[in-house]
Amino acid sequence: MVWQTIKRWYHMLGSPRYFHTFSSRVLPWLTPIALITLVTGLVWGLVFAPSDYQQGNSYRIIFIHVPASSGALMGYMALGVSGLVAVVWRMKMAEVMLKAIAPFGAALAAISLITGSLWGKPTWGTYWQWDARMTSMLILLFMYVGVIALQNVIREPRQAARAAGLLAIVGVINVVIVKYSVEWVQTLHQGSTLKLFGESTINPAMKYPLLISMLGMWLLYAVNVLVRARTEVEWRERRSKWVQTLIRKGDQ
């Protein structure tokens, strides 16, 4: 039963045309929800959340740093899965996703590094240390840039997707390193505050705005991916009748 549903979804979303119709219906309400959620979380965190007992107000960078970092890591996992499907099953939509997921992920990885560094100066006393967490996060940014670059350098889109897909798959190892570096080796960076299992070590008055900002950032990432994927689908299917009709209608 569940398997059948997954299979149906796979086939439906695997069809570029179905994806296009589906995303036209989702975007009009997903976009405002994403923006409202993100702004709510950030304003709550910046204006209303209490200050920290040790760091004072500089800790407020957490409300952008953690959502960006988690988004960059999850985005790369999605990129890895798309890469696997593109390389093994040669599914067109996976190739499209490979192209759509990377740019915003790269932006988030850059945000994570920059905000982390701006947070590090007042708290640790340094902008940068070559510890395992920071170095592996920098490699994650390079991985994103590599996937984007490969797709731009190779002209034939299907070949480009296979090369980029392979790089995306291999890079998943680095995601694991980023995630567990703070547990496996000695780093300047502290361990995770939000824990999937067990109690989070953050006061609820700070945790809720953080969770809301995270959700908002992930939703905005989804919006960005959908817009980019639609563009790519329209371009790849430009000779098909349905895209021609769409363009003729001037359907924005």
Partner 1 sequence: MAFESFADFLAMGKHGFYVWSAYGISAFLVITSMVLALRGQGRVRQTLARQQRRAEVDK
Partner 2 sequence: MNSVRKQRLILVLAVLVGLGIAVGLMFYALRQNINLFYTPQQVVAGEAPLGAQMRVGGLVVDGSVKRNEETLDVAFDITDGKGSFTVHYQGILPDLFREGQGIVANGTLISTSRFEAEEVLAKHDETYMPPEVQDALEKAGHPGAKKGGEYNE
Residues in touch with partner 2 (CB under 8 A) = 50-55, 59, 62, 84, 87-89, 122-126, 129-132, 166, 169-170, 172-173, 177, 182-188, 190-193, 201-203, 205-206
Q: According to the binding rule CB under 8 A, does residue 231 interact with partner 1? A: yes
Give the span between the Cα atoms of 73 and 75, in whole angstroms: 5
Work out what residue 238 binds among partner 1, partner 2, none; the CB cut-off runs from 5 to 8 Å by kind: partner 1
Give the span between the Cα atoms of 71 and 217, in whole angstroms: 7
Structure tokens at 149: 């670059």
Give the span between the Cα atoms of 175 and 178, in whole angstroms: 5
The region of 6-14, 54-62, 80-88, 172-180 touching partner 1 under the rule CB under 8 A is 54-62
The region of 11-19, 147-155, 183-191, 233-241 touching partner 1 under the rule CB under 8 A is 233-241
Tell which residue, 105, 110, 31, 111, has the closest CA to residue 71.
Answer: 105
Q: Assess contact for 22 and 214: CB atoms under 8 A.
A: no
Q: According to the binding rule CB under 8 A, does residue 228 interact with partner 1? A: yes
Give the span between the Cα atoms of 73 and 68, in whole angstroms: 9
Residues 21, 24, 57, 190: which binds partner 1 (CB under 8 A)?
Answer: 57
Minimum CB–partner distance for residue 176 and partner 1 (Å): 25
Residues 122-161 as x/- pattern, contact with partner 1 by CB under 8 A = x---------------------------------------
Minimum CB–partner distance for residue 161 and partner 1 (Å): 17
Q: Any idea which residue has 């701006």 for tokens?
A: 118
Residues 229-232: contacts with CB under 8 Å, at least 24 apart: 229/19, 229/23, 229/93, 229/96, 229/97, 229/99, 229/100, 230/19, 230/20, 230/23, 230/24, 232/96, 232/99, 232/100
Q: According to the binding rule CB under 8 A, does residue 7 interact with partner 1? A: no
Minimum CB–partner distance for residue 179 and partner 2 (Å): 14
Give the span between the Cα atoms of 230 and 92, in whole angstroms: 13
Minimum CB–partner distance for residue 185 and partner 1 (Å): 26
Q: Which is nearer to partner 1, 151 or 224 (CB)?
A: 224
